[in-house]
Amino acid sequence: MNINATLVNLYHVCKRECWLHANGVRMEHTSEVVYDGKLLHEISYPQRAEKHTEIELSARLSPKSKNGKEITLYGKIDFYDARNKIIHETKRSDKVENAHEWQVKYYLWLLKLNGIDHVSAILEYPLIRHTSHLDLRETDEQYLEEVVIKVAELKDGEECPPVIHTKICKSCSYYELCYVDEE
Ligand code: SF4
């Protein structure tokens, strides 16, 4: 069972969206979550390109999920400043900032699971001039371990979770799919 940062992010936005994405249902890319933060970062911070590297990481998680399948964690960090041990993650809007924070903390955890400790992160919203500084706490690691197990169980579940009826639905790529019977 593979889990990645997008699923961790979506789990905090909407369980239904997480399930749809995890099960390969893809709609047009209009969603806030899937907006290309990498492109926005390159446009907003062109001077940083040489200092940052892209890294891909993976780690096996023990304990396993309740269904007995081993969980493998994956993550691709677009902008890692190895010299200063800082991840830069760029987003368009802070409407789902909590989900963004857990995505970034997942990267920090994945780095730690790969032996790269004491990394911090900067979550940047250049369009609204907002920045958050994040570190990984011990309680975050425990929480993330619980979350990835729950995401694995959600992904494996046969039933798609219900529509959540919140403001975020309007900017979600699955909006038409979720509200087709209500229009
Ligand atoms: S439209 Fe709303 S309920 Fe449907 S997947 Fe998106 S956020 Fe979830």
| pLDDT, mean of each 10-residue run, the chain (183 residues) | 96 97 81 65 81 92 70 95 94 92 98 97 95 97 96 94 95 93 64
Q: If you compute the radius of gyration of the chain from its CA atoms, what whole number of angstroms results?
A: 17
At residue 7, the pLDDT reads 97
Q: What distance in angstroms lies between residue 163's CA and the mean position of ligand 1's atoms?
A: 6
Helix (DSSP H) and strand (DSSP E) numbers for the chain: 6, 6
Give the type of residue at 91.
Answer: K
> Are 84 and 121 within 8 A, CB to CB?
no
CA–CA separation, 170 and 125 (whole Å): 20
Residue nearest to atom 4 of ligand 1 (CA): 178
Fold of 2-182: Lambda Exonuclease; Chain A (3.90.320)
16 lines ligand 1 (CB under 6 A): yes
At residue 32, the pLDDT reads 52
At residue 55, the pLDDT reads 95
CA–CA separation, 37 and 35 (whole Å): 6
Using CA of residue 112, residue 145, residue 60, residue 156, what is the dihedral sign? negative
At residue 183, the pLDDT reads 55
174 lines ligand 1 (CB under 6 A): yes
CA–CA separation, 87 and 72 (whole Å): 21
At residue 123, the pLDDT reads 97
175 lines ligand 1 (CB under 6 A): yes
Residue with tokens 């001077």: 47
The number of beta carbons lying within 10 Å of the beta carbon of residue 138 is 7
Q: Which long-range contacts (CB under 8 A, 24 or more apart) does 26-29 make?
A: 27/173, 27/174, 27/176, 27/177, 28/173, 29/173
Give the type of residue at 24.
Answer: G
C-alpha 144 chain-centroid distance = 11
Give the type of residue at 135.
Answer: D
Residue nearest to atom 3 of ligand 1 (CA): 163
Pull the structure tokens for residue 121: 């992160």
